[in-house]
């Protein structure tokens, strides 16, 4: 049996992207060796536990600085030696303490460089462009500024915000899995 690549997945909320990675890749093409969240109440914890994936909960609120929090999560991630770390709805701005030591990709719900940061779906829905979309990019110390791995576009024509939002969320998962395959192949 060939050695499968190992990935770590970081999330902050529902864990829907984690669930999709588990369903499509885990125990098939890659091994999700750990999941980590900064939110002790994240619904994604149950997703990981149901898939028998070790979960690390590191509450960002108890750290006095971003750097001390990042140092702790780097230590936890490195103890599993993943080939790649995937930020799947991880709502933290990471410092060089993380970005310099962890090879990671991030999913962002806009066509970067448009709409970095929060509320990207709303901002892209309201902008003058006929399309929006999602980007998977390498994580760098610049927020949503790392090199683009891939993008998927969505036409906004005739869509209300709810329908657009739904479309973005459905292609996010596919884009993330495609990017993981691309990076690890």
Annotated catalytic residue 26: no
Burial of residue 10 (CB within 10 Å: 0-12, 13-18, 19+) is buried
Q: What is the CA radius of gyration of the chain?
A: 16
**Three-class SS state of 134:** strand
Which of 108, 115, 119, 137 is flagged as catalytic?
108
| Residue in the block written with tokens 């991030």 | 106
Ranges of H-type helices in the chain: 16-24, 44-50, 66-78, 96-99, 120-126, 161-184
Q: Are strands 131-138 and 148-155 parallel, antiparallel or unpaired?
A: antiparallel
Residues marked active site are found at 108
């Amino acid at each position: 049996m060939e050695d499968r690549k190992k990935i770590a997945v970081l999330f902050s909320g529902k864990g829907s992207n984690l669930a999709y990675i588990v369903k499509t890749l885990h125990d098939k093409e890659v091994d999700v060796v750990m999941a980590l969240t900064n939110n002790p109440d994240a619904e994604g914890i149950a997703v990981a536990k149901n898939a028998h994936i070790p979960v690390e909960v590191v509450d960002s609120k108890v750290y006095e600085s971003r750097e001390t929090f990042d140092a702790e999560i780097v230590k936890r991630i490195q103890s599993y030696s993943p080939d790649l770390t995937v930020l799947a709805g991880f709502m933290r701005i990471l410092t060089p303490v993380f970005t310099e030591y962890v090879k990671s990709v991030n999913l962002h719900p806009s066509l970067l460089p448009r709409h970095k940061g929060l509320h990207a779906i709303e901002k892209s829905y309201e902008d003058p462009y006929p399309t929006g979309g999602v980007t998977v990019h390498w994580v760098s110390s610049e927020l949503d500024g790392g090199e683009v791995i891939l993008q998927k576009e969505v036409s906004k024509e005739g869509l209300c915000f709810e329908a657009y939002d739904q479309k973005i969320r459905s292609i996010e998962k596919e884009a993330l899995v495609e990017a993981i395959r691309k990076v690890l192949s």
